[in-house]
A and B are shown apart, each in its own frame.
Chain A
Amino acid sequence: MVLAIVETLSALTAPLRAPKPKDWTAAERDVRDGFHAGDLIVAAPAWADPVMRMHLGDLIPIPTAGRMDAARFSRIWEIDQRGARAPEARGGRVVLERHHGALTVRQIERAAANVSYDFLARWNDAQVSRVDASGTALPCPYQGDRFQCPQIGFNYVRRQLVEVDTALRWALLAQPVERARVVIEFPAVVLGREIAIATGLSNVWMRKAGKGPVDLTVAIDGKPALHVTTLNESGWLISHVDTAARAGQTAAVRFEVSSPAPYARHFAFAAEARS
């Protein structure tokens, strides 16, 4: 009987506990008042993100919405409800906290990574080629919006929004091809303490259709530094290469993408050299 009463009351009052438009308007005002270019705005729980973007989406560039991770952001605005907290805001110092009905706005400051080289922002600096099993390299020139390799239409490298693990990411799409390696080399990368590399398979239909693994090898000045195998289940996996010993130096960083079963393998990656 107690359960029946509790459940009834819960059903009747639950709609009242949800954030109202005026709560969002007030939260929006707080964020706009204190927002600086380069700040990150997040919603918690993450499923509230579209509502947050409806109010503040004009302050969120597409690359920020599809960010590799939140390491480079020192100021984060978190709008939360129901006691949830955003993982992006973890470990920071709350410098402002305001409550608006069912919403809480927090401004969080924290030590951010200093990005010495953003491979996505500098993707036009890359030299792309396809290297076949005999070692012959075919250059893939930049054409319009992509590096297009010869003869195979889908064999290109392009910066675009991709869906990995049902989330949107701003990344380089580089599909592997049969019996060859797709090579993307950045000749002059300013190294930091590490290179963070995120990898994943786009998109949901391709993950349904294909099963093959995709191998990514990263070499710095010709020396292998990382090997990652990406599977359908890998999600958006972030790996780290320690470059602390060479921080501040300039080096060539080479990414090689290959797969023993490249059917429907829309491999995507993003990377940053960081201190």
Chain B
Amino acid sequence: MSWPASPVKRDRLIALVLGIATVGWLLVAEKSEGFGRDEGQYMRAGERYWGWFEELADNIKHRAAARSFSQAGIDRYWGDNAPDHPVIMKTLYGLSWRAFHRCTCMGPARGLHPIPVRGRHITLPLFARDSTAFRFPAMLFSGLLIAMVYLLARRFVPRPAAAAGAVLALAQPHYFFHAPIACFDAPITTMAFAVGFAYWKSLRSAAWGIGCGAVWGIALGTKHNAWFMPVFLAAHYVWMRRDDILRRHRPPRIPLAFVSMAALGPLIFFAHWPWLWPAPMARVHMYFNRHLQHEHYNFEYLGINWNNPPTDLAHKLIRTTFPFVSTSLTVPVTTLALAIWGAVVLLRRRRGAAVVEGGAPEAAPDGARPSWLRPGADVDRAPGAFLATQIFGPLCLLAVPSTPIFGGVKHFMPAMPFLAVAAAIGVAALTRVVAAQVRDLSRPRVLRALPAALALLVCLPAVAETERSQPDGLSHYNLLAGGFAGGASLGMNRQFWAYCVAPMLGWINDDHTDNRRMYWHDVLGDALHMYKREGRLDMAVGDTGAAEAGIQASAMGLLTWEKHWAIYEGWFWESYGTVKPAFVRDREGVPLVIGYKRNVR
């Protein structure tokens, strides 16, 4: 394949390569990540949603398609994991599993599927494990994100810096951990970026004005974070068109993108989710209530266990710092430094000027006049304000003390790819400074290689930190914090939802006697089923159930270490008569999972 002559095609090719490389890296990494309690549920729901399509095909064959659209026909399948989350990703996970798994479904794990297995599945067996097939769409979404980060960054900076920005968007330990799993946090990060990008393009393109509404509709079907996105966009829009208010003394026109979002967004949201169809208003109400009244799960931050909204001023202030401190302790420090440098460049930029030399911004349409169809055609689009609203919007939302913080970084992850774009601008600025030095030395060959070399150099720490963090990205903290150990010493959250037990499955499988009475703590049935379906867990391994009674009935068990689970360890001590664990899974000395055996002294 030859290098395309057109700069636009070159950029698209680079974006494609970055996207494919992202999927490749995630495919290599995902196998070591266990199944969390949420992911197990989404895999189960995805397979069940597939069951609806299977039944629909049967019903069509029997000329009874209406049965699949009755309330009973819908709720039997789509009632799973409702009203918690809309279903675009779960449906994709289910379809991907059905299409790409290597079927061992008629074997001993046949009964562990959430829908009856009628016979051997005919598939395109791309993946050896069921879970990889479930997870594949999430990885594709990450690939799409990284490609888009490159393309947006390319509007502002030369290719090497834009590519560095794309790598820095992926090589963030917490994001990277979430990227390949069959959940919604990485996909909604992709969709937040897609909505932002579509909006950015809509400022000079009416077609993208309409497209933005469709993209937002898909975001609404991905996760509820999407409902806040218009607020962040509106903040930028008002700033961009501030002269309308300040000089012309009239409000800015409502742009096509917002009209399109208002029209297409709810339509797509409703159309994509069959569970809403039998009782639209009541069920949308249930969906909103589910999230407006969401319980505050336990979460450690700065040594405090948070499980209620703070009531006193001191705790409210500490709680407000959560997204900012967490960002500063989880994103690689070099990436943060470059993003700050990028922010300085954007702050110093004059209206209408290029962000840095070498970017490839879209030209303003000829004869640009104020228009609701292309509302950014006659004004500077304020890229600094755009990135600021997209970065600080999600962070500020999670800074409100009454919002639950149990998901940690994942809840404001949509800010991170925009932060990476700011970092790309920082890379370009760094390149410019270093190039000026090299120019003095009159070494043209060095000068030519410099942008790529610097881009590579600034990506190294992020890639190294990300590789180091796997498969325990949730427990990882950056150089400022002091890594795994520093995070633990600072009282930062260590993990949640028992993703961390996968490396202990061998220890459990090896004990053929005691593991029949195994206590699993926070590893729920859906995850156990998936481990067994994949042959990673012996089919005979038992599950003694929940809490103190489960421990009392067990011969061995594990405890995923989180601050609020201490009482569970006390139940082990009392029931097993010892404080001595049989096994501790740690990262760099920091305990993640504690294994007990009743008869070990």
Contact = CB atoms under 8 A, between A and B. Distances in A.
Contacts of A162: 567, 570
Contact of A1 (B308, B457, B570): B457
Given A47-B489, A54-B580, A8 B586 contact: no
Contacts of A204: 298, 305, 307, 564, 566-567
Given A45-B488, A162-B570, A163-B567, A7 B584 contact: no
Given A45-B488, A162-B570, A168-B569, 9 more contacts: A1-B430, A3-B333, A4-B457, A4-B460, A11-B468, A14-B468, A15-B588, A57-B578, A102-B589
Interface stretch (A58-66, A120-128, A192-200): A58-66
How many A residues touch the partner, as a band? 35 or more
Contact of B464 (A8, A50, A160, A161): A8
Interface in B23-59: none
Contact of B588 (A1, A14, A163, A203): A14
A237 to B, nearest CB: 16
B591 A18 contact: no
A4 B591 contact: no
18 contacts: A1-B458, A3-B461, A4-B461, A6-B479, A7-B334, A11-B467, A12-B468, A14-B588, A19-B589, A45-B489, A48-B589, A50-B561, A53-B579, A54-B584, A102-B589, A161-B570, A162-B567, A203-B567
Given A18-B588, A50-B561, A204-B567, A65 B579 contact: yes
A58 B601 contact: yes
A159 B540 CA distance: 38
Nearest to B430: A1
B576 to A, nearest CB: 10
Contacts of A57: 578-581
A234 interface: no
A11 B465 contact: yes
A51 B586 contact: yes
Contacts of A53: 579-581
Counting chain A CB atoms within 10 Å of each CB, the highest count among B564, B580, B583 belongs to B580
A58 B488 contact: no
A65 B332 CA distance: 38
A65 B434 CA distance: 57
A6 B191 CA distance: 34
Interface in B562-601: 563-564, 566-567, 569-571, 573-574, 577-584, 586, 588-591, 594, 601
B176 to A, nearest CB: 13
A54 B305 CA distance: 25
B337 interface: yes
Contacts of B465: 7, 11
B573 A62 contact: yes
A166 interface: yes
B588 A54 contact: no
B143 interface: no
Contact of B458 (A4, A15, A62, A160): A4
Interface in B208-250: none
B579 A60 contact: yes
B485 interface: yes
Contact of A65 (B564, B573, B582, B588): B573
A10 interface: yes
Nearest to B332: A7
Interface string B438-476: 000000000000000010011011001101100000000
Given A7-B333, A7-B461, A58-B601, A166 B564 contact: yes
Interface residues of B, number: 51
B401 interface: no
Contacts of A45: 485, 488-489
A107 interface: no
A81 interface: yes
A149 B455 CA distance: 72
Question: Which 9 A-B pairs give the minimum distances between C-beta atoms?
Answer: A57-B580, A7-B461, A11-B464, A163-B567, A18-B588, A161-B570, A18-B589, A50-B591, A47-B488
A173 to B, nearest CB: 12
A82 interface: yes
Interface string B335-376: 001000000000000000000000000000000000000000
A111 interface: no
A40 to B, nearest CB: 13
Nearest to B486: A82
B83 interface: no
Contacts of A203: 567
Contacts of B580: 53-54, 56-58, 60
A188 interface: no
B483 interface: yes
A167 interface: yes
Nearest to A60: B579
A45 B485 CA distance: 9
